[in-house]
Chains A and B, each alone.
Chain A
Amino acid sequence: MKTAATQNTLTIDGQEIPFHDGQTIMDAALAAGVYIPHLCHRPGLTPHGSCKLCTVEINGKNASACTLPAASGQQVSNNTPALNEVRKTITQMLFIEGNHICPSCEKTGNCTLQAVARHLGMLDGHFPQFFPRREVDASHATVMLDRDRCILCELCVRASREIDGKNVFAIAGRGIEAHLIVNSASGKLADSDLETGDMAAHICPVGAILIKQHGYEVPIGMRTFDLHQVGEVGLEQVVLSKTKHHDE
Chain B
Amino acid sequence: MMNKPKIRIATTSLAGCFGCHMSFLDMDERLVALLEQVELNRSPLTDIKHCGPCDIGLIEGGVCNAENVHVLREFRDNCKILIAVGACAINGGVPSMRNHFTLRECLIETYVNGVGVENPQIPVDVELPLLLDKVHPIHDIVRVDYYLPGCPPSPDEFLQVLGALLEGKEPALPKKLIHYD
Residues of A within 8 A of B (CB): 95-96, 99-105, 108-109, 114, 117-119, 121-125, 128-129, 131, 133, 220
Q: Which residues does chain B contribute within 8 Å of A101, judged by CB atoms? A: 87, 91-94, 96-97
Q: Which residues does chain B contribute within 8 Å of A128, judged by CB atoms? A: 140
Q: Which residue of A lies closest to B84 (CB)?
A: A124
> A interface, by DSSP: helix, strand, loop or mixed?
loop
Contact across chains for B181 and A102 when beta carbons are under 8 A apart: yes
Bound Cα distance from A103 to B179, whole angstroms: 10
Q: Which residues does chain A contribute within 8 Å of B147, judged by CB atoms? A: 123-124
Contact across chains for A124 and B96 when beta carbons are under 8 A apart: no
Contact across chains for A121 and B149 when beta carbons are under 8 A apart: no
Known A-B contacts A103-B181, A119-B175; the reply to A131 vs B151 at CB < 8 A is no
Chain B contact-residue range equals: 20 to 34
Write the nearest CB–CB distance from B67 to chain A, whole angstroms: 21
Bound Cα distance from A99 to B91, whole angstroms: 9
Bound Cα distance from A121 to B93, whole angstroms: 19
Write the nearest CB–CB distance from B143 to chain A, whole angstroms: 13
30 pairs from A and B in contact (CB 8 Å cutoff): A101-B87, A101-B93, A101-B97, A102-B87, A102-B180, A102-B181, A103-B93, A103-B151, A103-B180, A104-B94, A114-B180, A114-B181, A117-B180, A118-B180, A121-B173, A123-B146, A123-B147, A123-B148, A123-B149, A123-B173, A123-B178, A124-B90, A124-B91, A124-B139, A124-B149, A129-B96, A129-B137, A131-B100, A131-B134, A133-B100
Contact across chains for B92 and A129 when beta carbons are under 8 A apart: yes
Q: Which residues does chain B contribute within 8 Å of A95, judged by CB atoms? A: 91
> B interface, by DSSP: helix, strand, loop or mixed?
mixed
Q: Which residue of B lies closest to A130 (CB)?
A: B99
**Across chains A and B, which 7 residue pairs bring their CB atoms closest together, nearest first?**
A103-B151, A102-B180, A123-B147, A108-B181, A124-B147, A131-B99, A102-B181
Q: Which residues does chain B contribute within 8 Å of A118, judged by CB atoms? A: 175, 178-180
Write the nearest CB–CB distance from A131 to chain B, whole angstroms: 4
Given contacts A108-B180, A123-B90, list 16 more A-B pairs with CB under 8 A.
A103-B94, A104-B94, A114-B181, A117-B180, A118-B178, A119-B175, A121-B178, A122-B178, A123-B147, A124-B84, A124-B90, A124-B144, A124-B147, A129-B96, A129-B136, A131-B134
Bound Cα distance from A128 to B90, whole angstroms: 11
Q: Which residue of A lies closest to B136 (CB)?
A: A129
Bound Cα distance from A117 to B151, whole angstroms: 16
Interface string of B14-53 (1 = CB under 8 A from A): 0000000000000000000000000000000000000000
Bound Cα distance from A124 to B59, whole angstroms: 14
Q: Which residue of A lies closest to B101 (CB)?
A: A133
Bound Cα distance from A51 to B151, whole angstroms: 27
Q: Which residues does chain A contribute within 8 Å of B146, judged by CB atoms? A: 123
Bound Cα distance from A59 to B93, whole angstroms: 42
Bound Cα distance from A118 to B141, whole angstroms: 26
Contact across chains for B91 and A129 when beta carbons are under 8 A apart: yes
Q: Which residue of A lies closest to B97 (CB)?
A: A101
Bound Cα distance from A185 to B147, whole angstroms: 46
